[in-house]
Amino acid sequence: MKITNAVATLVLTMLTFSLSAQVVSNDSINTLKERKQTLELSKRLNDNKLELAKLENELQNKTEEAAKAAEDAQKSADANREAAEKLGSDSQNKSKARRASKSAGSAHRDAKRARRTADQLERLKKDIDNLRDDISKDEKKLSSLQSGTGR
């Protein structure tokens, strides 16, 4: 009987302590939510800045690649023009026809490669511009959150 009373008292005491747990106010919850939002925004901002640095490093390589591809395409086009002119003076010559055909194929491939690298360069520039815009927006939003007016 005494053991049952002691156990009942102990259980009642435990329930009382658990029910009187610390109550968190709405202000502190809102403050924590704002801190969480600020941290998430800061993380996204840092990630975007790292991505921007990586893309800007790629920009130099892509620019050189595009310039080289354009130069190669121009050389191939000039070689094709010369082969076509030689073929024009002797249209029945099989070897000149074969050279002109191969030269035309090379010019075609090089022109396609030059267009592709130019498109990649433009895409990279566009991605860099978009990332800069995102960073700018996030910085403004972060500054407004940190000053307490970000709602």
The token pair that represents 54 in the structure block: 């990586």
pLDDT over threshold 90, residue 57: yes
106 neighbors 80 (Cβ within 8 angstroms): yes
Task: Tokens 């941290």: give the residue.
Answer: 39
Position 30 confidence tier, pLDDT thresholds 50, 70, 90? confident
148 DSSP assignment: T
User: How many CB atoms are located within 10 Å of the residue 30 CB?
Assistant: 11
pLDDT tens digits along 73-97: 999 999 999 988 888 888 888 888 8
CB-count exposure of residue 66 (10 Å: 0-12, 13-18, 19+): buried
pLDDT over threshold 70, residue 19: no
Give the global pTM. 0.68
pLDDT of residue 18: 56
Query: Could you state, in order of their start, the residue ranges of all structural domains in the chain?
Result: 41-147
User: How many CB atoms are located within 10 Å of the residue 114 CB?
Assistant: 22
pLDDT over threshold 70, residue 150: no
pLDDT over threshold 80, residue 36: yes
Position 24 confidence tier, pLDDT thresholds 50, 70, 90? low
Dump the DSSP string for 68-132: HHHHHHHHHHHHHHHHHHHHHHSTT-HHHHHHHHHHHHHHHHHHHHHHHHHHHHHHHHHHHHHHH
